[in-house]
Structure 1
Amino acid sequence: MPDKSLWGPLLHDDGATFRLWAPSSDGVTLEVEGMDPVPMRAAGEGWYAADAPVKPGARYRFRVSPDLLVPDPAARAQAEDVHGASVLIDHASYRWRHADWRGRPWHETVLYELHVGACGGYAGVRAMLPRLRDLGITAVELMPLAAFPGDRNWGYDGVQPFAPDPSYGTPEELKALVDEAHGLGLSIFLDCVFNHFGPDGAYLHAYARPFFDEGIHTPWGAAIDFTKPPVRAYFEECALMWLRDYRIDGLRLDAVHAIADQPWLDALARRIRSEITGREVHLVLENEGNTASKLVPGLYDAQWNDDGHNTLHPLLTGEREGYYEDFADDGARKLARVLGEGFLFQGEEMPHLGRPRGEASAHLPPTAFVLFLQNHDQVGNRAMGERLSALADPEALRAAAALLLLSPQIPMLFMGEEWGASAPFLFFTGFPDPELAKAVREGRRKEFAHFAAFQDESARESIPDPNHPATFEASRPDPAEAQRLPHGAILEHHKALLAIRHAEIIPRLRGAMAQGAEAVGDAAVIARWRMGDGATLTIATNFGADPAQVKAQGARILFESKPGAASSLAAGTLPPRTTIALLDSPTR
């Protein structure tokens, strides 16, 4: 079987051909509900195949040993849970209402990350789309959809990356969500986890042991072995499925630093670029390695700028525990480097990691970096899931929102951030296995044992149990809050900023490059960018409680987070907890 063949069933006029790579199995039988078992023929190099006269909707599994019946690891849908039957579906049967959608160019992107389950499933997210469009969002990023055990999960415990979890709705409802978004001019991005499988339901370990490299260990166990052609094909075909069959506009690849075969990432991007043509498709990395050489045309559009967040957070909150310790000191200088060069760590040793990290990034355009104040990780990986609205001074947070949304880096909001949602975002799971649920609960509490607030066992007991349904329910933001103060004012602030971005920043972003940034106080920075039309964008921001002394040439005021702040800046003083944006046109 060729390396690039599709995993999973292939529909044809006489039924379907089922395929499975099971090099650790002595034989495989296809079992379709309502039919006699069908022995699968050996197709070479560990592959098995069988034909069956079935129609879409058929439920099937594979018997890989006398006592082990497993779902299809490349199933396009599951009937119920990841341990049960897979479902044959016909992706071609959906009739797209907006099949002429060609996407939006990357520089127009304003991302909005959300958890589908916390927003009410596909139907709930679909209902949100007009509101997000009116806010100024251009792209909705869905946290992972891959099928997972139980009825709730962050999504990073998925074990069937081709199958959207049935708890959110049907594949047709997901397509209707994407279709609706396109009709409103919105792109849909999907977070994909290609670096590991979850702890429950990853049956590949039983019948395809070469799928994993036991000599390389990750936080999730043996590493996935991307040197094997069937393994590479598995994840490449998965990415292509989301882009082709669901018409997803962009993929965010989770924690790619955990993929040992880094050249495969380049091969994946090149294959996607060569096979998905005629429309805008965007690829974004989460990469602790800060590998700037991957952020070039033909490979990846951008990387999540964790350095940006990790520098901004201590400036806003004063926190320095955990990895914030590497960012807390001399925060203004570090923020200046993030704004002026992209990454903070560009080959220097990062003490928290104990090794060098990153590559030089000053030559990259600002659009190669996705900047954010909050995301699922940075909120949910806190013990109590607090958002910045519960941690930072409101005026400083208002100033930070202005920096985020007016900076030429690509901005991302996390669900509810636009109105200062009071709901936390906690780490939640729904593992049916009580022993696994216990291990996750205890592991979660142990994880925070070295933090000052959780030194006592009684304090650690207060950390919400990830597996309790109430933990999930508490993590669902309530949009009705936006009708009340102070949330309504926060929402209007974000709307105003995004209106400015669309009118003044986005039209000038093509060809923009940073022109340097400098610290002008303990918590104050001034940064400049040469925009694509030759204009100079200047952003001066001060998160501190004291004014900063700074020189700024006169220019048109785009935004000031406090009335009169621009006049103070012109006189040489940047007021506390303020952001000012100025635009000097090329004709000046």
Structure 2
Amino acid sequence: MTRRFSYGPSPDAKGKGGSSRTGFRLWAPGQPGVTLQRRDAEPVAMQATAGGWWECEAAAAPGTRYRYALGNGPTVPDPASHAQDGDVDGWSVVVDHHAYRWKHGDWRTHPWPQSVVYELHAGAMGGFRGLVGHLPRLAALGVNTIELMPVNDFAGSRNWGYDGVLPYAPDETYGTPDDLKALVDAAHGHGLAVMLDVVYNHFGPAGNYWHAIAPDFFRKDIRTPWGDAIDFREKPVRDFFIENAIFWLTEYRFDGLRLDAVHAIPDDTFLPELSRRVREACGSRRVYLVLENENNDATLLESAFDAQWNDDAHHCLHVLLTGEKDAYYADYADRPAEHLARSLAEGFVYQGEVSANLGHARGKPSGHLPPSAFVNALQNHDQVGNRAFGDRIHSLAPSDGVRAALLLKLLSPFVPMLFMGDEFFSERPFLFFTGFPSEDLAKAVREGRRKEFAKFAAFADPEKRERIPDPNAPGTFEASRLDLSERDKPAQAEAERFVTDLLRLRARRLAPHLAEARAVGAEALGTQGVRAQWRLGDGSLLTILAQFGDTAIPVQPGPGTLLAESLPGLGAAVAENGIGPRAAIAWLQEPAA
């Protein structure tokens, strides 16, 4: 029987009498025995093999419900289940991944530097089938890559996805495995690449049975902010996650992965190995590997990974737009324009300097990396949803300032990312939500969430903290759903036209030359403005001026012709009046003939 992955069910062709056979495999060192249970058939004793593995082959057609009975523990779902019936505690389901017939099997995605990413939550946009209906709109908008927040199985009916416990199984509230494949397939038909957010640094607080199956899956000496640290020193543990990355990229044909909070993975060798094995498994096919990494480890971006979410750039812009100085924003509040200029020229702001917020040095030099090594966003799920009331930037800053920031983000050579609703200045919040079935856990999350905000001056009053939405309440999720009827409002329609025009301009004038783009330099203009220049691959010079203060700043226009302006008429007035309040302008100087 052919097996592609170390874990999970492996269906084979029909055996004697026409019955389908499936191989089952579980790493459970220390167990005195493991039994395969099928919902409609007799149990089968699994055989112990080397290295703590248990294996068997049994009649189990696609659709068979199964579980594992541990010799000295409970009956558990398959931790590498490919689908679930009855949430994370229910029956695992045998899936035939060869059954889906791909319509766009010859799809090949665009080079990474040309990417424009749109981050979204599948549940808040209608599940896998509902998302298919959004694809024509997103393609017309001008994004070319959609990034799904984690979709693997979590406890309950609602979740951001970062509390997942079954990394190989799409959550059944979003749809079936074939529904997810149909979404990826349809996206490819619209010319859209699809990335998936994956979590390899922790498991959620409900439905994780690894402690019972194999206690050695976790370290005894380290904990993460979310629980016990995973022991990546064990080869079967490494394989569980590395093969999961390969699984999503091959069985579902995702075009890339974003790895969540890799700074919480306590093993320096794991990420390079993951990258190497993923590239080997995908061969000549282009796939993207992107990190979230608080450590700002530039060495990981030199060859192993394509890019990192650049929180530094976001924080600089947020401080300039809002004046907020709480928590991590304090690290950027002293000289926000200078910090932003460094980010535009070199990528990271913190390249070894001490972060007062963290209390230690952070980062490595990044100026040698191309702009495409950094994903820049004005909003993302973290920066919106981790606010007490899920406030979007449009409700916190003047609209002309937001337009200026969008021009800077969408026309600079970094990989830009929009969060769902950004494109039309959605007024809907995006809140932190869960749907845990356990009331005790729901209470702990609710109280923990409110306690978390006690350190903020605005929530020092306990009564104010009580008004923070309950994550587990159904209304919290409902309030976070994207509402496309907002697009009919005049201000929202104008915002979407603005974003669409910028993305079309980027695709036509800049995208073909971004792979070789390099920064020429950047400088602060006063305390709230920046001027930055990049040399593109065809030799042209891109200049962007942006400022977020209330008064004009004297400055000379950039060389070349006007490319874009955040409000009409700004470019014409620069020579005489400088750059006006809350404004951004871009020029492009074509190479000499």
Q: Could you say whether these structures have the same fold, taking a TM-score greater than 0.5 normalized by the shorter chain as the test?
A: yes
Per-residue deviation at 1:571? Answer: 3.5
Distance, in Å, in 1 between the alignment partners of 2:168 and 2:133 is 25
CA contact (8 A) 1:551 1:572 kept: no
Q: Give TM-score, length-normalised by structure 2.
A: 0.97
Q: Which residue identity does 2:530 align to in structure 1?
A: V
- Is 2:242 aligned against 1:236? yes
Counting only pairs closer than 5 Å after superposition, residues 222-371 of structure 1 correspond to structure 2 as 222-297=228-303, 299-371=304-376
Q: 1:79 aligns with which of 60, 79, 85?
A: 85
Distance, in Å, in 2 between the alignment partners of 1:72 and 1:226 is 20
Offset from partner CA, 1:469-527 (integer Å, 9 cap, x none)? 00000001211111112111111110111011111111120211011100012110000
Q: Which residue identity does 1:9 align to in structure 2?
A: P
Q: Which residue identity does 1:340 align to in structure 2?
A: A
Q: 1:115 aligns to what?
A: 121
- Is 2:407 aligned against 1:402? yes
Distance, in Å, in 2 between the alignment partners of 1:216 and 1:104 is 40
Offset from partner CA, 1:211-260 (integer Å, 9 cap, x none)? 11111111122210111100011001111110001000010000000001
Offset from partner CA, 1:246-298 (integer Å, 9 cap, x none)? 0000100000000011211001001111110232200000000101111123x
Per-residue deviation at 1:57? Answer: 0.3
Distance, in Å, in 1 between the alignment partners of 2:136 and 2:579 is 37
Offset from partner CA, 1:277-330 (integer Å, 9 cap, x none)? 232200000000101111123x11000000000111010011111111111121
Distance, in Å, in 1 between the alignment partners of 2:79 and 2:277 is 22
CA contact (8 A) 1:405 1:497 kept: yes
Moved over 6 A (4+): none
Per-residue deviation at 1:126? Answer: 0.7
Counting only pairs closer than 5 Å after superposition, residues 397-546 of structure 1 correspond to structure 2 as 397-546=402-551
Q: Which residue identity does 2:34 align to in structure 1?
A: V
Q: 2:394 aligns to what?
A: 389
Counting only pairs closer than 5 Å after superposition, residues 169-248 of structure 1 correspond to structure 2 as 169-248=175-254
Unaligned runs of 5+ residues in structure 2 are 16-20
Per-residue deviation at 1:551? Answer: 2.9
Per-residue deviation at 1:3? Answer: 13
2:83 is paired with a residue of what secondary structure? Answer: coil
Distance, in Å, in 2 between the alignment partners of 1:44 and 1:343 is 46
Distance, in Å, in 1 between the alignment partners of 2:91 and 2:62 is 14
Change (3 A) 1:529 1:86: same
Q: 2:378 aligns with which of 366, 373, 376?
A: 373
- Is 2:559 aligned against 1:554? yes
Offset from partner CA, 1:416-448 (integer Å, 9 cap, x none)? 010011110000000001100000000000000
Shifted more, 190-199 versus 3-12: the winner is: 3-12
- Is 2:75 aligned against 1:69? yes
Distance, in Å, in 1 between the alignment partners of 2:30 and 2:397 is 54
CA contact (8 A) 1:249 1:281 kept: yes
Q: Which residue identity does 2:469 align to in structure 1?
A: P
CA contact (8 A) 2:469 2:476 kept: yes
Distance, in Å, in 1 between the alignment partners of 2:239 and 2:342 is 39
Q: 2:161 aligns to what?
A: 155
Distance, in Å, in 2 between the alignment partners of 1:362 and 1:447 is 35
Distance, in Å, in 2 between the alignment partners of 1:127 and 1:328 is 42
Q: 2:10 aligns to what?
A: 10
Per-residue deviation at 1:36? Answer: 1.1
Offset from partner CA, 1:322-371 (integer Å, 9 cap, x none)? 11111112110000001010000001111111111001000111010000
Unaligned runs of 5+ residues in structure 1 are none
CA contact (8 A) 1:114 1:414 kept: yes
Offset from partner CA, 1:166-219 (integer Å, 9 cap, x none)? 000111111111000101110000000010000001100112111111111111
Shifted more, 508-517 versus 571-580: the winner is: 571-580
CA contact (8 A) 2:109 2:255 kept: yes
Distance, in Å, in 1 between the alignment partners of 2:208 and 2:31 is 15
Distance, in Å, in 2 between the alignment partners of 1:259 and 1:87 is 30
Per-residue deviation at 1:80? Answer: 2.2
Distance, in Å, in 2 between the alignment partners of 1:80 and 1:107 is 41
Q: Which residue identity does 1:164 align to in structure 2?
A: P
Per-residue deviation at 1:148? Answer: 0.4
- Is 2:573 aligned against 1:564? no
- Is 2:45 aligned against 1:58? no
Per-residue deviation at 1:5? Answer: 4.9
Per-residue deviation at 1:105? Answer: 1.1
CA contact (8 A) 1:370 1:412 kept: yes
2:84 is paired with a residue of what secondary structure? Answer: coil
- Is 2:103 aligned against 1:97? yes
Q: Which residue identity does 2:245 align to in structure 1?
A: A
Q: Which residue identity does 1:256 align to in structure 2?
A: V
1:486 is paired with a residue of what secondary structure? Answer: helix
Per-residue deviation at 1:25? Answer: 1.8
Distance, in Å, in 2 between the alignment partners of 1:486 and 1:568 is 25
Q: Which residue identity does 1:401 align to in structure 2?
A: L
Distance, in Å, in 1 between the alignment partners of 2:219 and 2:348 is 31
Per-residue deviation at 1:136? Answer: 0.1
Distance, in Å, in 2 between the alignment partners of 1:261 and 1:531 is 37
Distance, in Å, in 2 between the alignment partners of 1:155 and 1:276 is 26
1:519 is paired with a residue of what secondary structure? Answer: strand
Q: Which residue identity does 1:465 align to in structure 2?
A: D
CA contact (8 A) 2:558 2:587 kept: no
Per-residue deviation at 1:159? Answer: 0.1
What is the count of residue pairs matched by the alignment?
Answer: 586
Q: Give TM-score, length-normalised by structure 1.
A: 0.98
CA contact (8 A) 2:32 2:72 kept: no
Q: Percent identity?
A: 53
Task: Please tell me the root mean square deviation across aligned C-alpha atoms, in Å.
Answer: 1.3
